[in-house]
Chains A and B, each alone.
Chain A
Amino acid sequence: MKVKVVTRILEVNERIAAENRRLFDEAGVYVINLMSAPGAGKTSLLEKTIKELGGKIKTAVIEGDIAGTSDAERIGSLGVPVIQINTGGACHLDANMINEVLESLPLKEIDLLFVENVGNLVCPAELNIGEDMKAMLLSITEGDDKPLKYPLMFQESSALILNKMDLLPYTNANTEKIRKDAASLNPSLQIFEVSCKTGQGLSEWAEWLKTKVKN
């Protein structure tokens, strides 16, 4: 006997992501799913971004890591609400992990929520968590071949932040190649060149974020 099923295999995740999105929209929170390889500087970018935005935009952070709380402690010392999720081995965050911690966040008091995904250039791009936008960070020391090696992440992201630009002279990376390859994968990708060490480019990034926040 043949039974028709016609069900998306990731349906459960998509359903919970839609529920998260509804909660974010109701509370007027803009949500950015921040992704990168380990060590690209996600937490540093968040520290600098929070300072750059000042108190005008109320920011909160969900930190995703396999283990440990050091990132949450760094963000918490800036006085913004932060929640650490330890995935205990999973290489990405899914919609349900986000859903489970939402009641611990004062959503109505937040304008902008960053979800720092687990450091990984592959899996986080596959799953929606209810975000408004995916943004990815690529540190220049990782090399200019990454867009063509990890295309999905570049296709799914709305913004690409090139970090550690102060180290560019010490690498063989070609930013024009990154721009060209990334743009061919995703013509509408917004690209920012920053250095969390020197502060280069951070104000442009912060100004762009201000245009995205809902209220």
Chain B
Amino acid sequence: MHEASIAQSVLDIAVDNCRKAGYTRIESIRLKIGRASGIMPDALFFAFNALKTDTIAAEASVLIDEIPVSGFCNICGKDFVTEEKFILHCPECSGTSFNIKTGRELEIIDMEVF
């Protein structure tokens, strides 16, 4: 999707939170990225590394916790987790009525600062 603008948002939020907490340097930032969020991690790393120059995050690395797509099937009544980014059928019973629970996350969890 828009890895460069996402990377800029990550940088802005991280720098802001670091300063508010009274620290001056960011060592790492941990993100939670759902597999169906449309983010390509490599493109995000590339953009972040370009944008972080001359900021308090200049030495910072980005760590990504990838969250798989999971949900609950209304047909078979089971919870499921899949490796796919998008699903059309419940992986268990092939039913087409289900609710997605995870996989669209786009969050900053925490960061290491000094």
Write the residues of chain A forming the contact surface with B, with a CB cutoff of 8 angstroms.
1-12, 122-123, 126, 148, 151-152, 181, 184-185, 187
Contacts and interface: CB of A to CB of B under 8 A. Distances in A.
A160 B109 CA distance: 36
B53 interface: no
Given A3-B18, A126-B38, A184-B96, A9 B108 contact: yes
Interface of B: 1-2, 6, 9-10, 13-14, 17-18, 21, 23, 29, 31, 36, 38, 86, 88-89, 96-97, 106-114
Contacts, number: 70
B17 A5 contact: yes
Q: Determine chain B's interface SS by DSSP, over half rule.
A: mixed
A96 B10 CA distance: 18
Contact of B13 (A2, A7, A148, A152): A7
Contacts of B21: 1, 3
B113 A1 contact: yes
Contacts of B13: 5, 7, 9, 11
Contact of B107 (A3, A7, A148): A7
B9 A9 contact: yes
B106 A123 contact: no
B6 A123 contact: no
